[in-house]
Structure formats: C-alpha cells, structure tokens
Structure 1
Amino acid sequence: MMTRASILIVEDDGLIAMHLCETLEKAGYHVMNPENSGENAISRIGKGLCPDVILMDIGLGGKLDGIQTSREIRQIRDIPVIFLTAYSNEGCIAEAKKISPYGYILKPCMEHDLVGAIEKALHHNL
C-alpha cells in the first residue's frame, strides 16, 4: 500500500487554511494540523515534525513572514516549500525565488494548480 504524502499548511487566514485542508484531503493527501504563524511552524519542525511538503503563505501575520520562516526551516530540515500569496509584485516574487521554492501559487488557487505543484515537489524530492 502506498503511503499518502503529508502536507503542512502555514496560513494565517483560518478560512483559507480550512479550504486548503479540505481540498488536499479530498485529493488524497494527509494534511497535518495547520499553523497560523511562522514561529509555530518552526517550533513544530524543530521538535521533529517532518512533512513531505509545506504550503507557506508569504504574507503571514506575526514577526516572521513566509519567506523568513522558510529560511529558518531550511536550516533545520530540507523540506520542499510551495509559496502561496495573494500578491504578485516583482519584489515579492524575487525575494521568494531566493529561497528556491518548489512552486509559487497565487491565491485564490485552483485545485489542479495546487495538486500539480505538490506532485511536482514530491517527485522532485525523490
């Protein structure tokens, strides 16, 4: 039996996080309890949580944005990160690219875009 890939969602908007969870569970993924801040995500990764992919909102509330959070997580574990954002400005995209994300998805996103980005990250990580 094939194990389902595990996804950690880091999103500060509860409705968006819930929608992403439902969409990904429907697509057959194991979705871990989402985090609403970079600090919480870093703490869980530091304590041993190791998802197959992280969906990271760039515009997180709190002290760390999604880009800073991804940098910190990369120092702990090499987990593929797919950025989610409602912003498409060039500065934001350029800064996100420095992290070498496995994908960059604009919100609101379509299910096939989300699943496609996850599958690409999973297969690249094999």
Structure 2
Amino acid sequence: MTTPHTLLIVEDEILPAMSLKSGLEDAGYWVMDLTSRPEEAMVAALDRKPDLALVNIKLHGRNDGIALAVELKTLGVPVLFISGQPSRAIAARSVAVGSLAKPYSVDDMVLAVAYLLARLDGDASQALPRDLEVFDEDLPEVA
C-alpha cells in the first residue's frame, strides 16, 4: 500500500475549503491541515512538509498568499495558487508551480492536483487539465 500524498489547504472561505478538503480526501489524498491563516500554515508545513500546498492569494493575517508561497518555497513545498485573481497569480509565478482560477469545481481541483503531483514525481504522461496554468519550468516536460 502506498502512502497518500499530503496536501495543505490555505483558504479563508470556509465552506469552499471544507468542500475542497472532503473532495480531495475522497480522491485518496491526505489533507494534513486546513487553515485560513498563513502563520498556521507555516507551523503545519514546518511540522510535516506537505507534497503540495493549495494557497489562496487573498488571505487574512500578517501575510497574503503570495508572501506565504515565498516562505513555503524556501521549505521546498510546491504551491498551487487557488485564486479569483489570476493576474496576481501570474505576477507571482516564480513562487508557485501553477494556478487554478476561481471558480473551479472540486473535480477540477482533483484533476489539477493529480496532474501536478504526477509531474512533481516525474510522470509527464497526463494531459494538462482544463483551466490549470502551470508555471514551474522545473517540472518534467510533457511528451
């Protein structure tokens, strides 16, 4: 039995975040933490490094999602921006592996997460999901 990939969700809209958590867990991922605060996200990431962090750009607290992504990147945690602000996500492309614009469905997110984790694991065989913008040039190229 393989260990499921671990995810960290940082989202300040609680109902969509809970739905996202449930859908990702139903798909076989382990959501190690769900928080709306960057400070709590960093504590969780330091405690157990997630395979991928899903980070909303607009957050409450001392930092926004872009500042959090910078901190997570220093820990080696890849970030997928989830945002209704695609222009800000593109402007911050150097600190994230990609972006999925709101509104998205849970199914869209499951496909995006599966794609990015496969790419991070070196598998470039999956087709790019609709609405996912990939930023990280270090990810293996699609054949």
Please indicate, yes or no, whether the TM-score normalized by the shorter chain is above 0.5.
Answer: yes
Instruction: Please say if residues 9 and 54 of structure 2, whose CA atoms lie closer than 8 Å, have aligned partners that are also in contact.
Output: yes
Partner of 2:52: 53
Q: Deviations over 1:28-67 (max 9, x none)?
A: 1111220111111112223x22111111011111111111
The match for 2:91 among 89, 95, 116 is 95
Q: Measure the CA separation in 1 of the matches of 2:108 and 2:98.
A: 10
* Aligned-pair CA distance for 1:19: 0.9
RMSD of equivalent CA atoms: 1.5
Q: Measure the CA separation in 2 of the matches of 1:25 and 1:122.
A: 15
Q: Please list every run of 5 or more consecutive structure 1 residues that lacks an aligned counterpart in the other structure.
A: none
Q: Please list every run of 5 or more consecutive structure 2 residues that lacks an aligned counterpart in the other structure.
A: 122-143
Greater RCO, CA 8 A, separation 6+:
1
Instruction: Please say if residues 56 and 82 of structure 2, whose CA atoms lie closer than 8 Å, have aligned partners that are also in contact.
Output: yes
Q: Measure the CA separation in 1 of the matches of 2:49 and 2:109.
A: 20
SS at match of 2:4: coil
Instruction: Please say if residues 5 and 29 of structure 2, whose CA atoms lie closer than 8 Å, have aligned partners that are also in contact.
Output: yes
Partner of 2:32: 32
Code of the residue aligned with 1:123 in structure 2: it is A
Alignment coverage as a number of residue pairs: 121
Overall identity of the aligned pairs, in % = 34
Q: Measure the CA separation in 1 of the matches of 2:28 and 2:109.
A: 13
Matches of residues 95-114 of structure 1 in structure 2 within 5 Å? 95-99=91-95, 101-114=96-109
The match for 1:85 among 70, 74, 83 is 83
Q: Taking structure 2 as the reference length, what is the TM-score of the superposition? A: 0.77
Code of the residue aligned with 2:28 in structure 1: it is G
Partner of 1:6: 6
Partner of 1:72: 71
* Aligned-pair CA distance for 1:23: 1.1
Q: Runs of 4 or more off by more than 4 Å in structure 1?
A: none
* Aligned-pair CA distance for 1:112: 3.3
Q: Deviations over 1:50-94 (max 9, x none)?
A: 11111101111111111100101222x211211001223x3x133
* Aligned-pair CA distance for 1:102: 2.1
Q: Measure the CA separation in 2 of the matches of 1:57 and 1:14.
A: 12
